[in-house]
């Protein structure tokens, strides 16, 4: 499969939101229960670090950063979201997207990337470990799904070896 990593554009939102909705439906990818509008999503994510894997007109997956705090001391720390289209999992799209995000985030001055991953989402934990993240702890029963099931969240982070050293 030939795909490129490209900047996410507003016109990508229909496909990006479909991939996000599929993640929501798994009940192990996010605590979100519905897909936000583009405007809502756009306000919550850092504009310089949002990318898609694109094969022609098809979006295979996406990754983006959100600030963890508005305090200036945390300007180089961000939380990432990564979602891969179900039919394109297991072929390296997630690894390519996450490694590209790491590289680009360092160019933007980010020294720490973190993820909160629902404990049952083993594939996401494995992807993060493959890309240099480490588990730093977990939050017990921190979120509850609409179905009433509580979940622990594994906290993973990657500290840059080139920014903030």
52 Cβ neighbours under 8 A, 6+ residues apart:
5, 6, 7, 8, 12, 16, 59, 60, 61, 62, 97
pLDDT of 151 strictly over 80: yes
What pLDDT does 40 receive?
Answer: 96
State the average pLDDT over residues 92-98: 97
pTM as predicted: 0.94
What pLDDT does 147 receive?
Answer: 83
Assigned CATH topology for domain 4-159 = Aminopeptidase (3.40.630)
What pLDDT does 1 receive?
Answer: 73
Q: Give residue-wise pLDDT tens across range 66-78.
A: 999 889 888 899 9
Domain boundaries of the chain, sorted by first residue:
4-159
| Cβ atoms 97, 53 nearer than 8 A | yes
How far from the centroid of its chain's Cα atoms is residue 3's Cα?
19
Q: What percent of the chain has a predicted confidence (pLDDT) above 90?
A: 84
* Whole-number average pLDDT of the chain: 94
């Amino acid at each position: 499969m030939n795909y490129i990593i490209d900047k996410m554009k507003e016109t990508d939102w229909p496909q990006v939101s479909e991939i996000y909705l599929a993640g929501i439906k798994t009940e192990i990818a996010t605590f979100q229960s519905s897909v936000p509008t583009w405007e809502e999503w756009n306000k919550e994510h850092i504009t310089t670090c949002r990318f898609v894997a694109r094969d022609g007109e098809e979006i295979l997956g996406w990754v983006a950063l959100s600030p963890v705090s508005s305090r200036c001391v945390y300007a180089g720390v961000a939380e990432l979201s990564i979602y891969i289209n179900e039919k394109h999992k297991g072929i390296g799209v997630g690894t390519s997207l996450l490694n590209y995000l790491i590289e680009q985030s360092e160019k933007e001055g980010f020294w720490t990337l973190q993820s909160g991953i629902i404990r049952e989402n083993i594939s996401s934990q494995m992807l993060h470990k493959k890309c240099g993240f480490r588990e730093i702890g977990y939050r017990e029963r921190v979120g509850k799904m609409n179905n009433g099931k509580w979940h622990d969240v594994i906290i993973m982070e990657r500290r840059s070896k080139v920014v903030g050293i």
